[in-house]
Structure 1
Amino acid sequence: MKLALLHTSPVHVPVFDALRDADHPGLVLRHDVREELLERARADGPRSVADDVRTLLEAAAADGADAVLCTCSSIGAVAQEQAAAAGLPVLRVDRPMAARAVAEGPRVVVVATLRSTLGPTAALVEEEAGRAGRAVDLRTVLVEDAWELFLAGEHARYLGRVAESLDAVTEDEADVIVLAQASLADAAARTRTTVPVLSSPRLGLAAAAAECARGKSA
């Protein structure tokens, strides 16, 4: 089974390799890192990268991928919309997390360090709530100035800033916290909040591995 991963940061490559080794040792991963896609999506909107994303997905299909997992929440919806044109399944890394969040309870807090991610992730949670026939009370939190730390390679300080924001969320106001970006996943281990915190990498990779297996058995 071969899974292509579309990233907008190289930091995700070892994260998903480690998850593959731990959970899906038979899965072959092909990583494609395109940092410029996020830069353009932030500047001009996610639709501005649609043609380039489709070209990358078509290349993944030509390379023999059974599915593609887009690990960038800012362009995940655009990538998924190109699945039919590319001719292979395209999954958003954050969709399984959004579905799990809706099951946890109606009060969902979405935390991000990029404003361009808040809207798509909030919309995805609402979409999954609609699919499940559940009401959702959604609140978003932008961790100001943290992204500059990420870009500077100061990942410990970056995660620390996120964890501080998570610490401020209490059980009186939330049933679950959603980490809107894959880069935030390790902040869950640093927070003192008692509210469940969900991140996307492990859940998203599991869903993609299952999709690859379905394709092989079809």
Structure 2
Amino acid sequence: MKKTVVVVHTGPVTIQPLKDQFKNLLPDVRMINIMDDSLLNDVMSAGHLTKDVTQRIYSYMKDAEDMKADMILNACSSVGEATDVVKNMVNVPIIKIDEAMADQASEIGSKIGVLATVKTTLEPTVRLVKKKALEKNKEITVIERIAEGAFQALLDGNGEKHDQILKDTIYDLMEQVDVVVLAQVSMARLVPSLGETKVPVLSSPKSGVETLKKALEQLNS
């Protein structure tokens, strides 16, 4: 019987990258997308995850359960910690898109650079990387970086400027760390254009969906 995965998005930019990964890795899985762009806007306005946003995340996860989902994929790092709160409140396993990436980063090196265009995504990603290192009893140093001006360029409709700011920031960060973590799904499309890099540059769509695939296979075993 065909498996169903409900993906919860906080904006349109994560939908296509994840559709592409599903097409490559999970072609026989039914993918249902739930998108509410007010979630990320509210987190950014407050500067942190709020009770109201967590409640709404729960309602979407509950909707996914009602849709008979076999798995739920949370597509946004900014609300990843809401997933931690609600995961025991629904009877469907929940995968976080960035968990595998954070785990991989903590294995690769002790100096980890985390890059985002917005603070509300940067901070939870940093906490997740530190949590993964702690689970391994590994001491790490995290260098946090906001790609200044990139998000505004995107809002202004200047995707080229956004991408160039990100690339420049990635190259600069590489000089200081063992591995670079791209905190937002939307950044993943830049990785192929970086060419051969001095240190690994990790993004979440592929590793997140690979984790989802393994979890779905375990359901069958």
Map of 2:147 onto structure 1: 143
Equivalent residue pairs, number:
216
Q: 2:210 aligns with which of 200, 206, 213?
A: 206
Q: 1:88 aligns with which of 92, 95, 98?
A: 92
Change (3 A) 1:90 1:152: farther
Q: How does 1:12-161 map to 2 (within 5 A)?
A: 12-44=14-46, 45-48=48-51, 49-161=53-165
Q: Per the alignment, in what secondary structure is the counterpart of residue 144 of structure 2?
A: strand
Q: Per the alignment, in what secondary structure is the counterpart of residue 89 of structure 2?
A: helix
Whole-Å Cα distance in 1 between the matches of residues 149 and 160 of structure 2? 14
Whole-Å Cα distance in 1 between the matches of residues 104 and 6 of structure 2? 24
Whole-Å Cα distance in 1 between the matches of residues 212 and 156 of structure 2? 31
Change (3 A) 1:180 1:194: same
Report how far residue 47 of structure 1 moved: 2.6
Whole-Å Cα distance in 2 between the matches of residues 65 and 151 of structure 1? 34
**TM-score for the superposition, normalised by structure 2:** 0.92
Q: How does 1:176-187 map to 2 (within 5 A)?
A: 176-187=179-190
- 2:174–2:180 Cα contact (<8 Å) kept: no
Structure 2 residue runs without a partner (length 5+): none
Q: Deviations over 1:145-184 (max 9, x none)?
A: 211222344333322210110111245x211000011111
Whole-Å Cα distance in 2 between the matches of residues 170 and 116 of structure 1? 22
Whole-Å Cα distance in 1 between the matches of residues 86 and 219 of structure 2? 18
- Which one-letter code corresponds to 1:150 in the other structure? L
- Which one-letter code corresponds to 1:94 in the other structure? D
Worse-superposed segment, 12-21 or 113-122: 12-21
Whole-Å Cα distance in 2 between the matches of residues 155 and 79 of structure 1? 30
**TM-score for the superposition, normalised by structure 1:** 0.93
- Which one-letter code corresponds to 1:108 in the other structure? I
Query: Which stretches of structure 1, 4 residues or longer, exceed 4 Å deviation after superposition?
Result: none
Q: Per the alignment, in what secondary structure is the counterpart of residue 6 of structure 2?
A: strand
Change (3 A) 1:26 1:46: same
Instruction: Tell me the percent identity.
Output: 25
Structure 1 residue runs without a partner (length 5+): none
